[in-house]
Structure 1
């Protein structure tokens, strides 16, 4: 993917898991990146995280000019964002913190900079309310690990300029991402709302003693997840209808939607449920460090990304095949 020539410098505000993932992705695509974070020891943790991600990115293939040496850490927020073309906010998911931070960024950024929040839940209209230039503020929500997973949900708020959304889409696509522009803002956007529904049902199954965390994971890994990785839920069920496709599937299985199979309300997160979930996950990962599990995940995702390219090279997010 050729780099968007209008975006030369990217600033990442916040160097947690998501922020560091953005840093690694943009560096691998040949961008100049400035990172900022007021936390003590942030720079050292950031550089370690990027170093850990780099081998996986090398396997996928680096863009021309891609180098870790193009990463600069600037602790002063105003200096960090002053010359950036794209500013990606990655602060913890707290409303007041994000609103205050985006307001500070809006005051310090240059007039044509795109200001994006990585929020997984907040609407852009809420976040841009206190900004000096709300028309430049969007949500650009990625998925962990950001340096490998290509999806980014782009959402404009009530005051967001259509041109900013268009420019942002071009920018993220030039960083090797699949940009999904969401036309109507909702809490949680699209992907997180779907994942939240499965997560709530999974917690009920564990809480009710129906399944362990390992059994729930296996049901996705060896079942629906394999199909969803290529086709998603709708096209998967379209095939379930045989030659008549989705119409037959809905006629045959539609009535089951009225059955009380699922529990959309989340269960109370009691100490007992917390222990079941934590103990189950620790048992699943027993004998392996988080770093080892990260590497296993990354190795799998790299092969899966290549497999998707082989079997569905024409797929895009506009529904055209």
Structure 2
């Protein structure tokens, strides 16, 4: 489906609709406001106005420290009594209703009908594929404008957004949503296929499930599990994710050496998850991917970058803890 002719550049979007203003939705509102946008909001909860105000006010000091856009106003938000009124005049819609599939389906159908042909409607769902959520929409053009824009809590502080469309989502919608999020300062993963739980949640869930297994079996305490990450691999992840971390673990041989040397340990009982077969194709994909992540930088440069970052993270965390105790 071609992009509507009336859709202008994302920089021209000055008003956003936030549909659902609980913890995630209100976090989005705070972030949108910090980017100098005006927000039209809707939430059926009787205390929605108080909750929204409390979350925005609590988030504003952090947003101020990160840097506000010109014209940023924490009060440039208005709650409306109906969904249709909230989305009127909005150039982008962020839906953040509770994780109830039936509710998502009916609400997204209402949003598709209430918005214009150039307005992208993004869902903050943490796991539902858009193909499943768009089931109640008969209008192909309406379904084409629906996309997942999955944030991380709190949305005003964590930069990542995973963007992925459903079977009926138009390509221009995925591209426009990703472009809009990047324009307002988000880090975007533009996925090329639907995957339940997306990428980051699946990785989080793998750690979480193994943690529950260890506690249930008396193998580790929650405190030990937390410290194993905060004082262990978690210190490296802010600058190098797990794949680039293992690339460095291979020394000058990089990912190829690491896989060839440690590949057999995939069959060791280190986790309750089944490991995939380390085929030649998988090995080659991992090696090629690590080279892309490294960006052609030599190993010594990557190691120095990692070391600087770990020192900076440790000092920052220690300073934050000390400030909290004072």
Question: By the TM > 0.5 criterion, same fold?
Answer: yes
Count of aligned positions: 266
The aligned residue for residue 292 of structure 2 is none
The aligned residue for residue 103 of structure 2 is 97
Q: C-alpha offsets along residues 152-190 of structure 1, whole Å, 9 cap, x if unaligned?
A: 000011111111111111110111101110001011011
User: Distance between the aligned counterparts of 1:106 and 1:6, measured in 2?
Assistant: 21
Displacement of 1:68: 1.3
User: Distance between the aligned counterparts of 1:116 and 1:144, measured in 2?
Assistant: 16
Q: CA RMSD in A?
A: 1.5
Q: Give the TM-score, by structure 2 length.
A: 0.79
Residues 1:141 and 2:147 aligned together: no
Runs of 4 or more, structure 1, over 6 Å off, are: none
Q: Give the TM-score, by structure 1 length.
A: 0.80
Name which of 206, 215, 219 aligns with 2:224.
215
Q: C-alpha offsets along residues 280-319 of structure 1, whole Å, 9 cap, x if unaligned?
A: xxxxxxxxxxxxxxxxxxxxxxx96xx9xxxxxxxxxxxx
The aligned residue for residue 16 of structure 1 is 22
Q: C-alpha offsets along residues 202-246 of structure 1, whole Å, 9 cap, x if unaligned?
A: 101111111111110000001111111110000000000111011
Displacement of 1:129: 2.4
Name which of 71, 74, 85 aligns with 2:77.
71
The aligned residue for residue 88 of structure 2 is 82
Q: Mind listing any 5+ residue stretches in structure 2 that lack a counterpart?
A: 1-8, 275-311, 317-326
Name which of 181, 186, 207 aligns with 1:177.
186
Secondary structure of the structure 2 residue equivalent to 1:229: coil
User: Distance between the aligned counterparts of 2:255 and 2:112, measured in 1?
Assistant: 47
Give the number of the structure whose alpha-carbon radius of gyration is greater: 2
Displacement of 1:260: 2.2
Q: Mind listing any 5+ residue stretches in structure 1 that lack a counterpart?
A: 266-302, 308-321
The aligned residue for residue 203 of structure 1 is 212
The aligned residue for residue 31 of structure 1 is 37
Displacement of 1:61: 0.6
The aligned residue for residue 50 of structure 2 is 44
User: Distance between the aligned counterparts of 1:176 and 1:48, measured in 2?
Assistant: 23
User: Distance between the aligned counterparts of 2:183 and 2:35, measured in 1?
Assistant: 8
Name which of 217, 242, 250 aligns with 1:241.
250
Asked whether the 8 Å contact 1:151–1:179 carries over to 2, the reply is yes
Name which of 53, 59, 65 aligns with 2:65.
59
Displacement of 1:145: 1.1
Asked whether the 8 Å contact 2:11–2:183 carries over to 1, the reply is no
